[in-house]
Every structure is written in C-alpha cells, then in structure tokens.
Amino acid sequence: MNNIFVYCEITEDKVIADVSLELLSKGRKLASELNVKLEAVVIGTDLKDVEAQIFPYGVDVVHVADDKNLFPYTTLPHSAIVLEIFKHEKPEIAIFGATSIGRDLAPRIASALRCGLTADCTSLEFGDHFENKTQTEYKNLLYQIRPAFGGNIIATIINPETRPQMATVREGVMKKEILDAKYKGKVKKVNTAAILKDEHFVVQIIERHMEASKINIKNSQVIIAGGYGVGSKENFKLLYDLADVLGAQVGASRAAVDAGYSEHERQIGQTGVTVRPKLYIACGISGAVQHRAGMDQSAQIISINTDLNAPINHIADFTIIGSITDVIPKMIKYYKANSK
C-alpha cells in the first residue's frame, strides 16, 4: 500500500503551522496502523532546516520545495507542486488543514486528480466497506467523519475507488503529539524549476496585513467561555478575572463575538476553534449545535445560566442556575478561600 501525505503550512513567523503538526501526529498513527510511511510536503521560501521541526512527529520523508515567490502562499504554484508530487508518489491518503490555505488548495488538487475530498473532518479512522451493487469488499478505507448541514448532522464519508483519499481537518481537532524527539526521516528536494512556469504566478499579492495569531485558546486546560447572556463587554471582564485566578483562557460564542463582547479569535464552535480542555465553563451560552461542535469533547463542563432549560445544560456535568454577575464573583471568592 502507498503512503500517507500531509501538506504542511508555513505561518507568518516562518514555522510549520500548528494545524499541520496536529495532522502529522494523526497521520503518524494512521500510517502505523496501515504499516506505511508518513510523508510531508513543505512548500515555501528559505526553508533551511525545516525538516528539524517535523521529524519528531514521526515523518519518514519530507518533500521540500524551496524557491523564491513560494511564500506567501498562492494557489497555482502550490497546487502545481503538490500535483507533481502526488502524480509521482500516488498517495493512499492526503490530508490538508481546513484553513484559508487548505480549503483553497485541496479542492483544486482533488479536481485535477478527479478524486474525492471530504471537508472539515472531525475524525479520521479506518473501517471496511461492502458495496452491494458491485459485490466488492473494501478493507481499511478511511472513514472521514464530518459535520454538515450547519452542524446538524454528522456524516461518514468514504472514497472507495479513487486515490488519494483526501480530507481537510480543522485546527485543534487532532492532538499535537511528538513521537520521538530523535526521529529522523529523509529529505527529498523538489526540483521546482522543472515544475513552475510564469503562468502560475498570474495572481499577484500586492498588499498584506497579517497578524501572527496572538490569541491561542485551544491549548488551554481550562476555558471560561462567554455567550450573549454575559450581556456586555464590561461583564466579560468578570470572565477574565476568573480566568486569571484559574490560569485559564477566555473563549466566546459567536453571538458574543457578533455583539462585540469578544474577539473573533476566541470564537469556539463550528466556525471557530475546536477545544477540548479539562474544564469548560460556559457562561450565558445557550448551547446551539454549532457551538457544541467545538467544545463537547471537553472532559468536564460547567454551565452557568439563568435558564434551567438551556440545551447546554444537557451536556454539562454541573449546571449553576443563576446570573453570571452573581455567580462568577462567588466562584473567584471560594476558589481563593479553598486553594492554598
């Protein structure tokens, strides 16, 4: 069987993006299950020693395409290079981040290769499939599990016939795990000059205003998330006070972001980040399905809500019926009283 490939993104700080490291971690497990190799594709400018960042995740081969004009990302040069590698290596599975870049690139590649692509997967695992029509048995297909229909359904998608089996996965869904700090793979340099043509550079970037993502809530063990029920930006400060004493990060629902109570980077849910902390405290959040999609894997959930019937309470371990303005100061007070 052929190998598993992960497309690695380069951040504004010129390092491999977290989402790619997460996918490498997942890819490593999948590769070991199938007894195949894990390969990475890195495309950019001035990529000296980039392999050192990814080998510890268990990468066996990294394809490095290093050339001027390959950073920042643009669609056509990156897709030309990935296509060339895929045509040659014929991956069994190819995984991309469900990011601005991955969702721009992966569909273009899938279309050119005429293979199936599953968007925004929340889980990848192997399973078998029997096709009644053709009486064919398929072993170890990639089950690509994803929400659709505005998060109201979860679909399991398979690609029985076409290869690679392609999927995009959102940041924070897979866990980043170093396999072995000393793991060493092989570097294969891509001959970019043989692939790239002038016509790949017709779309030119003329201006960029990027922020290196400063807010990063998804690695936090404890998250205090606020919703529309928090009521105001001022009340949101209470959440920060609690976060400070607990060493937590503050998250938000979309309604809270839309109301201007919090920054977009803190949004949790289907169109925000996915988090799985040890403790999730939902303050004034009703628990819409799109919100739960980003937090229902939390180990423990506390809901603070004035409404006993708020859907979030159904997935909470503890529900405190009350107003956040009353409850949060008390939580701070009794945390301080009980901890040494």
Ligand X SMILES: Cc1cc2nc3c(=O)[nH]c(=O)nc-3n(C[C@H](O)[C@H](O)[C@H](O)COP(=O)(O)OP(=O)(O)OC[C@H]3O[C@@H](n4cnc5c(N)ncnc54)[C@H](O)[C@@H]3O)c2cc1C
Alpha-carbon distances of 275 from 119, 308, 313, rounded to whole Å: 19, 24, 18
Q: How far is the CB of 311 from ligand X (least distance, A)?
A: 8
Alpha-carbon distances of 78 from 8, 60, 83, 135, 328, rounded to whole Å: 11, 22, 8, 39, 49
Q: Residue from 34, 158, 179, 259 that binds another protein (CB under 8 A)?
A: 158
Q: Which stretch binds another protein (CB under 8 A): 30-38, 39-47, 143-151, 227-235?
A: 143-151
Q: Residue from 111, 139, 232, 255 that binds another protein (CB under 8 A)?
A: 111
Q: How many CA atoms lie within 13 A of 19 on its CB side?
A: 25
323 lies in the site for ligand X, by CB under 6 A: yes
Q: Cα(69)–Cα(192) distance, rounded to whole angstroms?
A: 11
Nearer to ligand X among residue 64 and residue 95 (C-beta): 95
User: Which of ligand X, another protein, none binds 177 (CB below 5-8 Å, type-dependent)?
Assistant: none
148 lies in the site for ligand X, by CB under 6 A: yes
How many residues belong to the site for ligand X (CB under 6 A)?
37
Q: For residue 318, which amino acid is it?
A: F
List, in order, residues 6 or more apart from 310 with CB less than 8 Å away: 285, 286, 287, 303
Q: Cα(290)–Cα(130) distance, rounded to whole angstroms?
A: 32
Q: How far is the CB of 44 from another protein (least distance, A)?
A: 16
Using only C-alpha atoms, what is the Rg of the chain?
Answer: 22
Q: Cα(196)–Cα(78) distance, rounded to whole angstroms?
A: 9
Task: Looking at residues 50 to 89 of the shown chain, list those that interact with another protein (rule: CB under 8 A).
Answer: 72, 74-76
11 lies in the site for ligand X, by CB under 6 A: no
Site string for ligand X, 103-122 (x = CB under 6 A): --------------xxx---
Q: Residue from 3, 20, 159, 267 that binds another protein (CB under 8 A)?
A: 159
User: Which of ligand X, another protein, none binds 3 (CB below 5-8 Å, type-dependent)?
Assistant: none
Q: Residue from 155, 156, 160, 333 that binds ligand X (CB under 6 A)?
A: 155
Site string for another protein, 184-203 (x = CB under 8 A): ------------------xx
Q: For residue 196, which amino acid is it?
A: L
- Contact criterion met (CB below 8 Å) for 54 and 21: yes
Structure token pair of residue 211:
């922020």
Nearer to another protein among residue 85 and residue 302 (C-beta): 302
Q: Which stretch binds another protein (CB under 8 A): 30-38, 44-52, 116-124, 185-193?
A: 116-124
168 lies in the site for ligand X, by CB under 6 A: no
Q: Residue from 253, 274, 298, 319 that binds ligand X (CB under 6 A)?
A: 253
Q: Cα(2)–Cα(21) distance, rounded to whole angstroms?
A: 21
Q: For residue 303, which amino acid is it?
A: S
**b/e per residue 278-317 (b: at least 16 CB within 10 A):** ebbbbbbbbbbbbbbbbbeebeebbbbbeeeebbbbeebe
User: Which of another protein, ligand X, none binds 111 (CB below 5-8 Å, type-dependent)?
Assistant: another protein
User: Which of ligand X, another protein, none binds 244 (CB below 5-8 Å, type-dependent)?
Assistant: none
227 lies in the site for ligand X, by CB under 6 A: yes
- Contact criterion met (CB below 8 Å) for 255 and 225: no
Task: Looking at residues 250 to 309 of the shown chain, list those that interact with another protein (rule: CB under 8 A).
Answer: 278-279, 289, 292-293, 296, 299-300, 302-303, 308
Alpha-carbon distances of 262 from 36, 250, 252, 315, rounded to whole Å: 44, 9, 7, 24
Footprint on this chain of ligand X (rule: CB under 6 A): 117-119, 146, 148, 150, 153, 155, 157, 227-229, 231, 253-256, 267-272, 284-286, 288, 290-291, 294, 304-307, 310, 323-324
